[in-house]
Structure 1
Amino acid sequence: MTEVTSDGSVFPDPTYKETVLRPLFDGAKTHHVDGFRRIDRAHLVMLVETGILPRDDAARIAQALEAIDREIDPAQLTYTGEVEDFFFLIEAELKRRLGPDLAGKLHTARSRNDIDHTLFKLALKQRTDVLLSRARKLAATLLDVAEREKSTLIVAYTHGQPAQPTTFGHYLCAVAEVLLRDIERIAAARTLIDKSPMGAAAITTSGFPIDRARVAALLGFAGPLRNSYGCIASVDYITGLYGAMELMFLHLGRPIQDFQVWSSFEVGQLYVPNAFVQISSIMPQKRNPVPIEHLRHLASQTVGRARTMLDVMHNTPFTDMNDSEGETQQIGYEAFNSALRVIDLLTSLVGGIRIDAANVARNTRRSCITITELADSLVRREGLSFRQAHEIAAEVAKRVVAVQGDLGTDGYGPFVEAFQRSVGRSPAVDAATFAKLVSPEHFVAVRNRFGGPAPASMDAAISDYRGQLDAFDAEAYRIAAREVAAAAELDRSFRSLMGDA
C-alpha cells in the first residue's frame, strides 16, 4: 500500500516506482525467486537448530512458506507499488497468513544486505557452472579436432603475412591451451562466489547465536565468507568473475577473426561447410560464412557486457551499495546469455570446418614459407653461421618469388649460385635433398620439440591438455555432487519442521 511519509509526500513517488522499483521487482521475480525460497528455508532451519526460534513457531512459518510457493506464481505478478520489492512481498504474505509478530520472526539475525549478496552469488554460481560446462565441451571439441588434424598442413601467419607452415592441429591446440587457462581463471573466480555472505546481516553479524556455517552448507556453499563487512562491501566476486569472462571472450575472438580471414576467397585456407554458409540475395556465386561474423560480434558483445560490470564497480565506496545489486546483476546475466551463444556456435563450427589442402599448397608455394628451414639446415649440414645461411636463403626466396616459382623445384639453381657466391664452394646438398629440406612436411617433422607441431610433441601436448580437462571435469562433478546433497539436506531439514520427515 502507499505510505504517507513524515514530510507529507506519498511513497512510492510514481516516477520512482516506474523507473526503479518496478524494474527491480521484475528482475527479482525473473532471476531470484528460487534463491529467496532457499534462503528463507535455510535461515529458518538454522534459527530452530540454534534455539533462536521455537520449533512450533518455525513449523507455522514453514507451512506458510510452503503455501506461498504453492499458491503464488511469481511470473504472473504485476508490480503495484504496494510493497517496496520482492522481499517485502513475501514478508507481507507471511504477515497476512501468520500475523505481523510471528511473520517477523523469520527475519531475525539477517538483513536484505546479506540476503541480496547471497541471492546474487546463488544466481552466479548456477550461471558460471553452465558456462564452465559449455567451455569444457568447446575445449574437448578443439582437442578432438586437433587430434584429427594433427598432420594437416596450414600456413601460419604473422603480421598478416604468410610466415611458416604448421598444422591445423598445432593451431587448435594453441587455442585450446588459452581456453584451458581461461577456464581455470573462471573456476578460480567461482571459488570466491562459493563463499556465503549469510549471517553478516547488515554489516557486523548479529548478537544472536547464529550458525553461519550451517546456513552456508544448506545453501550448497563451500563455507561462509569470513569478514562480515566484506560480505556486504566487497565486490571482487563480481569483478573477478566478469574480469575472467572478459578475458575468455577477448581471447576467443582472436581465432574467430583468423577463421574470417582464412575463409576469404583470396586465402581460401579454411573450408566452411554449407550448413554454415548463407548465399547472397543478389549474387548467387557468393558463399558467405556469416556464422563467423556472428561469433565475432557476439564475442565482442560479451566482452563489452563483462567490461560494463567492472566499469560500474569503478570508484564506488567500500560498503553495501545499489551499484552492485539488482539491475547491475541483470546486465551481467546478459553477458552469460551472449557467452553461451558464442561457445555453442563455436563448438559446432569447429567440429565442421576443414582445411582446403590445395589452397594451402598454393599459398605455401607462392610465399616460400619453408625457407627458414633451409637456413637452419645449412647451419647444421654445411657448418655456416646462421646469419650467412639466412642471407643465402633470403636470396633464394627472392629469386623464386620473382618468377612466381615453386621453391622445391625452382629454387635449387638459385640456391647453388647464392651458396657459391657467399661461401666460395659448392654445397653438399643435392637437388633431391634440397627439395626435401624445403618441403612443408619436413619443416613440421623436424620441429619435434616441446610444444612444436611434430607428431610426437603434438601427441604429448594433447595428452596433457586432456589431463587438465579431466581434472576440471572431476572438480565440477565434485562440486555438483556437494550441491545436490545440500539441496536434499535443505529439503529434508525444512520438511522436518512441518513433521514431514
Structure 2
Amino acid sequence: MPTSEQTAAPSEQPQQSDPTRPWAALADDPTIALGPLDGRYRSDVAPLVDHLSEAALNRARLHVEVEWLIHLTATGAIPGAPTLTEAEVAYLRDVVATFGPEQIAELGAIEAETRHDVKAVEYFLKRRLADAAGVLERTSLPAASELVHIFCTSEDINNLAYAVTVRSAVHDVWLPAAHGVADAVADLARDQAATPMLARTHGQPATPVTLGKELAVLAHRLRRQLARIAADETLGKINGATGTFGAHAISVPGTDWEEVARTFVEGLGLTWNPLTTQIESHDWQAELYSDVARFNRVLHNLATDVWTYISLGYFAQRLSAQGSTGSSTMPHKVNPIRFENAEANLEVSSALLDNLSATLVTSRLQRDLTDSSSQRTIGIAFGHSLLAIANVTRGLAGLDVDAAAMARDLDANWEVLGEAVQSAMRAAGIAGASGMADPYERLKELTRGRRVDGDGMRAFIGDLGLPGDVEARLLAMTPADYTGYAERLVAHLG
C-alpha cells in the first residue's frame, strides 16, 4: 500500500533548487574574480598587475605613442613639425605617469565606441593634446594632433607595448622572485653540504650522497636557466603596415626612416628588428617563454624531490610555516601543501608558456590576429609561475632536516658499499694484486636482492685478500662515509 509521501500531490513535493541557476547574480559584481589569480591568490601575484594587466598594456601603448611623438619632433623627421619645449615634453610624459583608474575608465568608454583598442589610445592622447592649451601657455600641442600615431599600424604600437611590459615584468618582478627561490635552495645546500643521505636511483637504494649536493644540483640548474632568461633579447619594430616603411618613404622621402625607427626602438631599451612583416615576429617571446617554462620544470623537479624527502622523513615540516590545518579529518598530519600547490601552478604556467612559444612564431602571410588573443594569457602564465615560486620559497623556509632519519636509512643499506668494494678490487687487480678476478660478479652474488649488514660486509671484505692498506680503508668505511666529493662539490655554487 503506498505511503502518504508516495501519494502526495506534485505541488506538495519538496522542491529542489535548479543546479544550473546561480543562487545570486554573481556575474553582476565585478569584484568577484573568475580565476584564482585575481581571487584566492591575488596577494602573491599582485606585483604583476602593474606590468601584465590590460590596464598596464594600455598604459604602455600610451607610453609608446607619446614617445613616438616626442621622438619625431626631437629628430626633425617630419618637416614643419613643431619643436617641443621641455614643459610640453613633461606634460606629455605626465599623461602616462598619471594614467590611473579615472583614465582607465575614460579609455574604456572610448574603446566601447571605436571597438579598437589601439585606436582608442590614439583618441585618448589626442584629447590630452587638445587639453594642453588649458594647462600650458602658448603651446603647440593642440596643433600637433596629426603627429599622434602617424605612419603607425596597430602592431607598431602593440609589439613595443608588449615588449616593454613583458621585459619589466620579467626583470622587475619575476626574476627577483625566481632568484630568491634559487638562492634559498643554494643556502640550504650549503648548510647541508656534509649531511650524508642514501641516494635512490630508480627508486632503489644507491651510492650515498649528501643532501647538500643533491640540492646544489637543483640550485645550479635553476641559476643556469635564470642566466639565460636575464640575457634574452627583447625585440621591437616600428616600420608600418607591412614592414616596408612605405607610408614613411612616400610621405617624407628625405628622412632616413630606418635610422629614426632604430633609434626610437633602442631608446625604449629594446633591440631593433629591421626585418618584419606587419608584425614583429615574436621569436624573442617564444625564446623567453621556453626558457621560463624550462625554469618552471626544474622547479617542479625540486618540488617533487622535496615532497619525496618529506615522505621519507628526511625533512620535517614546521606547522606554522605550512598552514594551520594539515588534514580536515586526520589531525596528526602536516601535508606538504606548499610543494603540491607549486607543482600544480608550474604545470599550468608551463602549459600556457608552451602554447605561446609554439603559436607566436607563426603568422599567416603578413599578418593574422591569433597572436593578439594568445598574448592576453602572458600575465596568467607568469602569474601561475610567480605563485609557485612563492609557495616553494615558503615551503623551503618551513623545513627542518632530520639527519638522524637519513642516518638510519644509511645504516640499513650496507649493500650500497658493493660499488666501492668491487671498484677497489678492480683498481687493486690493475695494480698487480692477485685474486681480484670477477669483482662485479662476486659483489653481485653477495648483494643483489639481499640486505647486508655491517658485519656481513666487513666479513666479506676480510676474505678478499686485498692489499693491507686497501682492506683497512674499506673496513673503516660505512655507508655514511661513502659520499666521495659530494661535500666539496657544493662549493661550485659560489
TM-score range, shorter chain: 0.7 to 0.9
Q: Counterpart in 1 of 2:205?
A: 162
* Corresponding residue SS for 1:303: helix
Residue among 274, 280, 289 paired with 1:226:
274
1:458 aligns with 2:477: no
**1:120-131, aligned counterparts within 5 Å?**
120-129=162-171, 130-131=173-174
Q: 2: distance between equivalents of 1:38 and 1:385? A: 81
Q: 2: distance between equivalents of 1:71 and 1:250? A: 37
Q: Report how many residues are paired.
A: 410
Query: 1:150: how far off?
Result: 0.7
Q: 1: distance between equivalents of 2:92 and 2:69? A: 10
Query: 1:64: how far off?
Result: 7.9
Q: 1: distance between equivalents of 2:447 and 2:179? A: 43
Q: 1: distance between equivalents of 2:381 and 2:283? A: 17
Q: Counterpart in 1 of 2:243?
A: 203
Q: Counterpart in 1 of 2:71?
A: 46
Residue among 385, 388, 404 paired with 1:339:
385
RMSD value, Cα: 3.2
Q: 1: distance between equivalents of 2:281 and 2:289? A: 14
Residue among 183, 192, 208 paired with 1:149:
192
**What do residues 368-403 of structure 1 show as CA deviations (whole Å, max 9, x unaligned)?**
3232112222334464798722223333335961xx
Query: 1:149: how far off?
Result: 1.0
Q: Counterpart in 1 of 2:147?
A: 105
Residue among 397, 400, 404 paired with 2:447:
397
Q: Counterpart in 1 of 2:348?
A: 301
Q: 2: distance between equivalents of 1:87 and 1:62? A: 22
For residue 261 of structure 1, what is the amino acid of its counterpart?
A: T
Change (3 A) 1:167 1:184: same
Q: 1: distance between equivalents of 2:460 and 2:342? A: 46
Q: 2: distance between equivalents of 1:96 and 1:346? A: 47
Query: 1:220: how far off?
Result: 2.4
User: What 5-or-longer segments of structure 1 have no aligned partner?
Assistant: 1-26, 420-424, 464-501
1:215 aligns with 2:258: no
For residue 36 of structure 1, what is the amino acid of its counterpart?
A: R
Determine what percentage of the aligned residue pairs are the same residue: 20
Query: 1:141: how far off?
Result: 2.1
Query: 1:412: how far off?
Result: 2.2
1:245 aligns with 2:270: no
Counterpart contact for 1:270–1:355, Cα < 8 Å? yes
Q: 2: distance between equivalents of 1:187 and 1:86? A: 31
Counterpart contact for 1:141–1:347, Cα < 8 Å? yes
Q: Counterpart in 1 of 2:396?
A: 350
* Corresponding residue SS for 2:214: helix
1:87 aligns with 2:118: yes
**What do residues 201-253 of structure 1 show as CA deviations (whole Å, max 9, x unaligned)?**
542122142412331243222x4222243x72512122111111221112221
Q: 1: distance between equivalents of 2:62 and 2:191? A: 48
Query: 1:426: how far off?
Result: 7.6
Q: 2: distance between equivalents of 1:75 and 1:96? A: 14
Q: Which structure is richer in relative contact order (CA contacts within 8 A, separation 6 or more)?
A: 1
**What do residues 19-43 of structure 1 show as CA deviations (whole Å, max 9, x unaligned)?**
xxxxxxxx97423133123212211
Q: 2: distance between equivalents of 1:308 and 1:87? A: 25
Counterpart contact for 1:138–1:347, Cα < 8 Å? yes
Q: 1: distance between equivalents of 2:94 and 2:468? A: 91
For residue 179 of structure 1, what is the amino acid of its counterpart?
A: L
Whichever structure has more helix as a proportion of its residues is 1
Counterpart contact for 1:396–1:415, Cα < 8 Å? no
Change (3 A) 1:216 1:183: same
1:179 aligns with 2:222: yes
Q: Counterpart in 1 of 2:375?
A: 329
Q: Counterpart in 2 of 1:361?
A: 407
Q: Counterpart in 2 of 1:494?
A: none
Residue among 476, 480, 487 paired with 1:436:
476
